[in-house]
Chains A and B, each alone.
Chain A
Amino acid sequence: MVVSLKNISKTFNGVYALRDVSIDFPAGKVVALIGENGAGKSTLMNILSGVYPDYEGELLYKGKSVRFQRPRDAQDQGIAIIHQELNLIPHLSVVENIFLGRELVTTWGALDRTEMKAIAKKLLARLKLTLNLDAPVSQLKVGECQLIEIAKALLVESDVVIMDEPTSAISESEVYALYDIIRDLKASGTTVIYISHKMKEIFTLADEYVVLRDGQLVRQGQIAEVDEQQLVNMMVGRALGERTKCPCRTTEEKVLQVHNLSLTHPEKDAMLLDQVSFALCKGEILGIFGLMGAGRTELLETLFGLRGKPALGDFTFDGEGTPFFSSPNEALRCGLALVPEDRKSDGLVLGMDVRSNLSLSVLSSLETLGVLADVQEKELCQQYVDRLRIKAANDQQQVGSLSGGNQQKVVLAKYLATHPKVLMLDEPTRGIDVYAKGEIYDLIREQATAGLGVIVVSSELPELFAIADRLLVMCDGRITQEFKTEEATEEAILQAALPDK
């Protein structure tokens, strides 16, 4: 056993995040750590990687009892962690970020840039990533940043590598590069602890599984001995009903039409969006798929008025031709809402409570004579907390302390409260556990049944298959193909999403 946890417990403000957990991680294996959000996975990994030095219980590492005081201690002893949250410094370059805190120096004490660059290049090549090494990280996409986090962890030879949802933002092809790396690591005797919600990845990669629920160990075992349904049942602790899709589209009335929308890159001479045309009917769920950089997010942001500069093309919303919206304020007033991709940086004010977050976009309707009506605000909040089954101690709980799934529901509630005619969702279930995912799908369907036009952008095909009526595939800023969901196959969609070589 390379790592053994003995009776680990950890509390936050009197609430148990982990209770009496004992797990053994064998050397040279890939162990999938699974559980719903809030099950205690991240807490466990933070203990293992030295972020939380104060816990009860014992940590045995290579047979010796240890207690890491800070992340650096764990790193120096050979435990690397790739966090789900990005920890890069935006205006430092790719190389500088990779070597942050471990800079190489020449005999004179100056930074050895050539050497660092050479090593960085090799690392990125292993990840099949070509980047300008001197470009600041702020210019990179989320997925690329995540790969750089991975490169950072690979820089040091480690005996244990912890990966916390490493694929939540990267594209299919990058996922395969990551698989290869994980297999390499395993072959060289490294233990990989792999946290993920994606069953496909778990069954592809893992040798063993560990399931946590509500801070307690449910079961540890060989992956070969279980199937997907069993794992899901262990995670949620209750059997999930089969969720069947109902194509509930009944109307042909178009609520949103885009014709020849084009958008140029603000700095480079390139098109972010190239002659995009599509229409959305009332009550329809339209899925948009594409690899990273295909222009999906840019499309949603343009429609929502976030891009500032006027885009070319024609726009019809709710039966009226209008210019593209110039601000989120205008879009929301007209009835177009966007649930953004990154709930922490774009969706929520983390320091505010659930109620204030939820009511933020509809405060003007809660005023009487310029004074906010507390009672109405409370009622509104309660209504959505009940409807979306948001789990919070009360509506004055800080939203930052909720689990990912509940945070996402708060964002969703905030925009549903504006009573939109069209709801756009960018990666609505990123980093959310299976059960909350199902709930969010149900909600989206419910909205469509009620007559909303819904656009869902996702990089997870199963997700789109599960909810969309119709699929658009984007590549290089263009719409390359359209499918009816029941006629689409995974192969055909990927074919349409891949750029021409």
Chain B
Amino acid sequence: MNISVLAYKKRLQQLQPLIALFLLCLVIAIFSDRFLSMTNLWNVMRQISVNICISVGMTLVIISAGIDLSVGSILAFAGAVTASFLSMGAEIPVFGVYLSVTPVGAILIGILMGGALGWINGWVITYFRVQPFVATLAMLTIARGLTMLWTQGYPISSLGDDFAGLGTGWFLGVPIPVWIAAAVTALAVFVMKKTRFGRYIYAIGGNERAARLSGIKVNRVKTLVYVLSGMLAAVGGILVTSRLDSAQPNAGEGYELDAIAAVVIGGTSLSGGRGLIMGTVLGAVIIGVLNNGLVLLGVSPFWQQVVKGTVILIAVIIDRSQHKDKK
């Protein structure tokens, strides 16, 4: 086998998820005439946007050889915080003073909250050397509890047309959430490919000790990765809240699993050091299309889960067999 054949084979491998997606669309389109309607496609894209935001953050975490199980709960908490600032007429009592909070302000506060919870994840993981799985599992519960406390278990609704426009509106013929997901993706691709921070994430995931010995401030980079994951989960939470015009206390339950699934289908190794943002985005699209297709084809919800799980397994097995020679 010469070099060009190898390169060709490699390119073919990279195209595989795309081919899979194409075949998936083809099958669904054959059995359902509604699938290819613009309304449905835009709707699917709108839904996928949220998972893309979360999954991009998850990709950074997983490339750094970590995991973040708390994204679903952080999503709900950030959504609730933003919603509460909006619904109280954009005014809050602080020492008896009324500060007005614009929708932009409320969104920023929500994102900061997500970042803060992410920072706690990072701090616990780096400072106390708690395994990421355990630390973020704890945060999954804590953030969900905080959301319940914040909302007292009731949805926060009627958030104003401006805010609802974020999740339901259009810009240049494309849903706004899709623009946001695209921006997040582009930024993440840039960071991973073109910045020191991105390179450090790969290095830490590949060999943390070697990274440290190369003068990389490993703890700082890792903490920042969890902060970003929290912030992106918050962005997802704000999109969900805006689309429903309501913050649900149980929003985002199980979203961490969809995000991890997207990352894995996208070919990122759970042991760290290897993976691509675009792979994850493709993974998220495949999951979204699959979800939509199963509904359109009238598959029972119980079977939907079985099918989804099977797809994840097949994706990982194919990926494994391709990287076997590298161990």
Interface class of chain B by DSSP:
helix
CA A348 to CA B209, docked complex, whole Å: 9
Contacts of A400 in B (CB 8 A): 326
- Is B172 close to A, CB under 8 A? no
Q: How far is the CB of A38 from chain B (nearest CB, A)?
A: 18
**In the complex where A14-B2, A418-B215 touch, is A356 in contact with B202 (Cβ < 8 A)?**
yes
Chain B 1-19: CB-based contact to A (< 8 A → 1; otherwise 0): 1100010000000000000
Contacts of A338 in B (CB 8 A): 213
**In the complex where A350-B207, A351-B273, A352-B202 touch, is A328 in contact with B215 (Cβ < 8 A)?**
yes
Stretch of A25-33, A176-184, A362-370 at the chain-chain interface = A362-370
Stretch of B136-144, B192-200, B281-289 at the chain-chain interface = B192-200
- Is B34 close to A, CB under 8 A? no
Chain B, Cβ-Cβ closest to A301: B213
Contacts of B210 in A (CB 8 A): 345-349
Q: How far is the CB of B117 from chain A (nearest CB, A)?
A: 26
A361 touches B209 (CB 8 A): no
Chain A 315-356: CB-based contact to B (< 8 A → 1; otherwise 0): 000000000000111011100001010000111111110001
Pick the contact of B203: A328, A360, A372 (CB < 8 A): A360
- Is A414 close to B, CB under 8 A? yes
CA A14 to CA B207, docked complex, whole Å: 28
- Is A306 close to B, CB under 8 A? yes
Contacts of B209 in A (CB 8 A): 345-346
Chain A, Cβ-Cβ closest to B196: A363
Q: How far is the CB of B215 from chain A (nearest CB, A)?
A: 4
In the complex, which range does the number of interface residues on chain B fall in?
20 to 34
- Contacts between the two chains (Cβ within 8 Å), count: 81
Chain B, Cβ-Cβ closest to A414: B214
Chain B, Cβ-Cβ closest to A330: B215
Interface class of chain A by DSSP:
mixed
The B-contacting residues of A in range 88-140, CB under 8 angstroms, are none
- Is A204 close to B, CB under 8 A? no
Chain B, Cβ-Cβ closest to A332: B215
Pick the contact of B6: A13, A345, A348, A356 (CB < 8 A): A13
Q: How far is the CB of A337 from chain B (nearest CB, A)?
A: 9
CA A12 to CA B326, docked complex, whole Å: 11
Contacts of A361 in B (CB 8 A): 214-216
Chain B 287-327: CB-based contact to A (< 8 A → 1; otherwise 0): 00000000000000000000000000000000000000110
**In the complex where A13-B1, A345-B209 touch, is A364 in contact with B273 (Cβ < 8 A)?**
no
- Is A371 close to B, CB under 8 A? yes
Contacts of B326 in A (CB 8 A): 351, 398, 400
CA A340 to CA B212, docked complex, whole Å: 12
Contacts of A356 in B (CB 8 A): 199, 202-203
The B-contacting residues of A in range 397-421, CB under 8 angstroms, are 398, 400, 414, 418
Q: Which of B6, B210, B325 has the most CB of A within 10 A?
A: B210
Pick the contact of A328: B6, B207, B212, B274 (CB < 8 A): B212
Contacts of A367 in B (CB 8 A): 195-196
**In the complex where A349-B273, A352-B202, A356-B199 touch, is A372 in contact with B213 (Cβ < 8 A)?**
no
Q: How far is the CB of B1 from chain A (nearest CB, A)?
A: 4
Contacts of A363 in B (CB 8 A): 196, 199-200
Q: How far is the CB of A301 from chain B (nearest CB, A)?
A: 10
Contacts of B202 in A (CB 8 A): 349, 352, 356
CA A348 to CA B276, docked complex, whole Å: 21
CA A49 to CA B79, docked complex, whole Å: 59
Contacts of B206 in A (CB 8 A): 349-352
Taking Cβ atoms with an 8 Å cutoff, the residues of B that contact A are: 1-2, 6, 194-196, 199-200, 202-203, 206-207, 209-217, 273-274, 325-326
The contact sample of 10 A-B pairs, CB cut-off 8 A, is: A13-B6, A14-B2, A304-B213, A306-B212, A329-B216, A329-B217, A345-B207, A347-B213, A352-B202, A372-B195
Shortest 7 CB-CB distances between A and B: which pairs? A349-B206, A332-B215, A14-B1, A361-B214, A363-B196, A349-B207, A360-B214
